[in-house]
Amino acid sequence: MITIKSRREFAKMAKAGAAVAAIHEAVRAAAAPGVSLLDLEEISARILEERGCSSSFLGYHGTYPATLCLSPNDVIVHGIPSDRRLEEGDILSVDAGAIFEGFHGDAAFTMPIGLVSAEAQRLIDVTEDALWVGIREVRKGGHLGDIGAAVAEVGKSNDFGVVEEYVGHGIGRQMHEEPQVPNYGRPGQGLRLRTGMALCIEPMFNAGARHTSVDDDGWTVRTADGSLSAHWEHTVCLTPDGPQVFTAGEEPIPVEFEQSAARG
Ligand code: MF3
Ligand code: CO
Backbone angles phi, psi at 14, to 5 degrees: -65, -40
User: What is the rounded average pLDDT for all residues in the chain?
Assistant: 97
Strands of 168-170's sheet in order across = 177-181, 168-170, 198-201, 234-239, 242-245, 253-254
Q: Which protein residues are within 6 Å of ligand 1, measured from CB? A: 57, 60, 64, 69, 78, 95, 97, 106, 200, 202, 233
- Of 75, 95, 178, the one to substitute when testing ligand 1's pocket (max ligand atoms within 8 A of C-beta) is 95
Alpha-carbon dihedral 148, 162, 71, 180, rounded to 10 degrees: 30
- CATH numbers and ranges of domains, the chain: 7-254 (3.90.230.10)
In angstroms, rounded to a whole number, what is the distance separating the alpha carbons of residues 93 and 176?
Answer: 20
Given a cut of 50, whether residue 264 has pLDDT beyond it is: no
**Atom number of ligand 1 nearest to Cα 69:** 11
Mind listing the pLDDT tens digit for each residue in 76-101?
999 999 999 999 999 999 999 999 99
* pLDDT beyond 80 at 263: no
> Which residue has its alpha carbon closest to ligand 1 atom 11?
57
36 neighbors 70 (Cβ within 8 angstroms): no
Residue 262: per-residue pLDDT: 53
Residue 257 has pLDDT above 90, yes or no: no
pLDDT tens-digit map of 35-67 = 999 999 999 999 999 999 999 999 999 999 999
- Residue of 41, 56, 110, 131 best suited for mutating to test ligand 1, as the one with most atoms within 8 Å of CB: 56
The residue type found at 124 is I
Q: Mind listing the pLDDT tens digit for each residue in 179-235?
A: 999 999 999 999 999 999 999 999 999 999 999 999 999 999 999 999 999 999 999
Q: How far is the CA of 163 from the centre of ligand 1 (A)?
A: 15
Would you state the pLDDT for residue 261? 58
What pLDDT sits at residue 65? Answer: 98
pTM recorded for the entire structure: 0.97
